[in-house]
Chain A
């Protein structure tokens, strides 16, 4: 049973919602105006707010913004329930801080499912956003207080050991740790979107996940998740120990940590020996390591591909993207990464249908392992700076990723 506040100026909707919520075993309260609803929400303890957008005094967008700005209600789940069906409204509501969006008229089962989802799986606001009072970017802090770091020795004050000379020793990962690499050598393929959502899905499955962004041309993960990392892999010494690496991690969610790439393009990719040390250190603490690969086949990306249990090459259904993927896979073959160890994801990043899947498979000479349908919710997720897997877990993209993860 939950306490749910319904804020709606429609005199027909309010009693209907009261009846529905009472039948579901919840305790409903109603407010007919935005201002009245906001005052009620901050002065009472509610588990969920169901909010209309079009109200005569202050509209639902503004109520959402005020609730998010108030310390008492900043984490309160908000479900928008409105007759405004257009995408800009949904994006505006998500940007204001809403957690769900349903349009009227709605199937009561859909409404019930959404309410249950928000009550049982409370949306995760980026843990770091509480420090944020204005502006869209989140000031990310190092995860120095992570529980798994508690037993480690403090970082040494002495300079790090010099980088090893010559070939790297074989990388041995903890047996409980699995590495997944998402590779999209062509910009716009959606590799980072896949990486963030894969990491989010795994963390939602109860895994302890570390997402590593290897891009030397600006951290796309940080941009997508609206992070402003203070530390990145560029700040690491050549052969860092686990404790030093841990200090560079940003905690995004319960169980999801991120090692960010530099926010600005840098001249050098992460070196193979540094990444060797990073993976060695992290594998003991994380059951899943998801790597958003560099847009080039640098040493770190090749090392990741060599130890990955799952290496996913992402392409879009366009001619150039398919040609690029064919070239990438040929290049990987010559570098010792066999086709059999790679998987292919066909990502429909626009609503326009492109080359048919059969034609893509013909060009690649192999089947596509994961097809990701176009997901309108992704634009809202980007606006909100949260993986779609967190805010709309049943929409097409997270659903496809969940099915893929189930085959792991």
Chain B
């Protein structure tokens, strides 16, 4: 558990390979990014967790007032507000000139399309394996379960566990 005081609660949709967990997460003023990338904790405590199976995402199968998630095994999360992820300086890993690159990132069970922020130029290794943070944001993104392409889950931020990312490909802009 983080010893930072909780500033507010946010709603998040956490997706594992088999389940969707709609829950509330208490975060500090540093945002969800600080909680997820805190190397001193392995678990995330969530409240009011509603579990659905991934093949029936709108059917609630179970409710628990408290649940604990193992951060290592969370492939991705969908947030409904960009600011929930955290202050932009922290989310980007510092102040720098950033460019937004449209990409497709594949995980074992998911495909995510959206914008990643890169410093100066698109650098796949810096995006996927550079630095020490485990979770990265993909903005204005859509996540699809590879084996069940419909429906897609979209949000202003999809948070990806980089340890689960298998490939990244830049999406070329359509030529006029």
A binding-site residues for B, Cβ under 8 Å: 53-54, 56, 59, 61, 83-89, 91-93, 103-105, 353, 356
Complex formed: what's the CA distance from A54 to B47 in Å?
12
Question: Within 8 Å CB of B81, what residues of A?
Answer: 105
Interface residue from B57, B63, B78, B152 paired with A56 (Cβ < 8 Å)? B63
Q: Which of B96-149 contact A (CB under 8 A)?
A: none
Q: Nearest residue in A to B10 (C-beta to C-beta)?
A: A83
- Nearest chain A CB to B141 CB, angstrom units: 13
Any A CB within 8 A of the CB of B58: yes
* Residue pair A86, B63 in contact (C-beta under 8 Å): no
Question: Within 8 Å CB of B59, what residues of A?
Answer: 61, 92
Any A CB within 8 A of the CB of B151: yes
> Interface majority SS on B: helix, strand, loop or mixed?
strand
Question: Within 8 Å CB of A89, what residues of B?
Answer: 57-58
* Residue pair A103, B22 in contact (C-beta under 8 Å): no
Any A CB within 8 A of the CB of B42: no
Question: Within 8 Å CB of A61, what residues of B?
Answer: 58-60
Contact count band on B: 20 to 34
The 6 residue pairs across chains A and B that have the minimum distance between CB atoms: A92-B58, A83-B11, A88-B58, A88-B57, A85-B80, A88-B151
Q: Take A56-B65, A92-B59 as given contacts and tell me if A104 and B152 are in contact as well, using a CB distance cutoff of 8 Å.
A: no
Question: Within 8 Å CB of A92, what residues of B?
Answer: 58-59
- Nearest chain A CB to B138 CB, angstrom units: 16
21 contacts between A and B (CB under 8 A): A54-B48, A54-B60, A54-B63, A56-B63, A56-B65, A59-B50, A59-B60, A59-B63, A61-B59, A85-B80, A85-B155, A86-B13, A86-B153, A86-B154, A87-B151, A88-B57, A89-B57, A92-B58, A92-B59, A103-B80, A356-B176
Question: Within 8 Å CB of A88, what residues of B?
Answer: 57-58, 151
* Residue pair B65, A84 in contact (C-beta under 8 Å): no
Q: Nearest residue in B to A96 (C-beta to C-beta)?
A: B58
